[in-house]
Amino acid sequence: MTLLMLSYPERVEVFRRAFARDLPEVPFASDPAQIDPREVRYLITWNYPDNLAERYPNLDVIFSVGAGVDQMIQAQIPPRVKLVRMIESGLTSLVRDYVVMSVLALHRRLPAYIEQQRRREWVNLEFTWADQRRVSVLGLGELGQASLEALKHFGFRLAGWSRNPKEIEGIRSYHGREGLMAMLAETNILICLLPLTPETRHILNADLFAQLPQGASLVQAGRGGHLDQEALLEALNTGHLEAAFIDVTDPEPLPADHPLWSHPKVVLTPHVAGHTRAESSAEATIANLRCILAGEAPNGLVDRQRGY
């Protein structure tokens, strides 16, 4: 029963020390060449080796080092192997902070002021009070709920949408297709934190943007595949959308001549909204492995039918 971790050396060493301290009974390895592949029961990784089933025939569980699971779903992984996505405090806090930063910047019209600065214009723009602005989140998982909780302190009217009904104190919750349309109609700043599945691919498209009120803005911190980039550019260029913070694109990085690089209404960041912290990731993985060894379900167990 061996645990194999495939990652860069600095992260591996953090995990190695944590496992030696907290779960020494589970052999920990990071060099596939030095172990019997038939002994590998647990794998920690982001990218997957070719011929995974043949290479590690007794594999039971794969732990992702990141929150995204679309690369796990697409890989050739035997159905019997459990997939566990990363849920840990470091990632959650970073995404929460990015969302708060973006929402406040859009609320106070920072992209427009940056463009005025470039043109050397000193003009006071109209503003909206926080309690007059509806901020809505697509995706009410760990990241969405943490972001909404942080935004409560600023006085926005808050809403969230999920696939299934959820009740969250202080948040107006919507679900399903009709719920999505109802929420969008009242949303001034829309935040995408959805998992990427066949159902959510290109969910940020022309039809969705058309449902938003004139002058709404977007925070895209989900996955690159959520966004129809041409539809976003059209909505920005026509003035239907006022501005956007974009952290994830498809492809990454964008081609050098892509309009998003230089669009005056776009703040583009290089997929930095969230990053797992090695120490807390190791602790989360150890806690999950203990659950599995005890016959319990780990936190973040992926339902392959749903895609997350």
Q: Which position among 11, 223, 226, 263 bears the catalytic label?
A: 223
Spatial separation of the C-alpha atoms in residues 146 and 260, rounded to whole Å: 28
Among 27, 35, 85, smallest CA distance to 61 is for 85
Active site residue 223: yes
List the beta bridge partners of residue 158: 135
Q: Which position among 108, 271, 275, 290 bears the catalytic label?
A: 271
Q: Long-range contacts of range 299-304, CB-CB < 8 Å, 24 or more positions apart? A: 299/84, 299/87, 300/84, 300/85, 300/86, 300/87, 301/82, 301/83, 301/84, 302/69, 302/72, 302/73, 302/82, 302/83, 302/84, 302/85, 304/73, 304/79, 304/83
Please tell me whether residue 142 adopts helix, strand or coil conformation: helix
Active site residue 275: no
Q: Which residues contact 93 (CB under 8 A, 6 or more apart)?
A: 146
Tokens linked to 162:
């999920």
Spatial separation of the C-alpha atoms in residues 112 and 126, rounded to whole Å: 11
Contact 46, 64 (CB under 8 A): yes
Q: Give me the DSSP letters along 223-261.
A: -GGGB-HHHHHHHHHTTSEEEEEE---SSSSPPTT-GGG
Alpha helices, DSSP H, located in the chain: 9-22, 52-55, 70-74, 89-107, 110-118, 142-151, 176-185, 206-211, 229-237, 278-293
- The catalytic residue positions are 223, 271
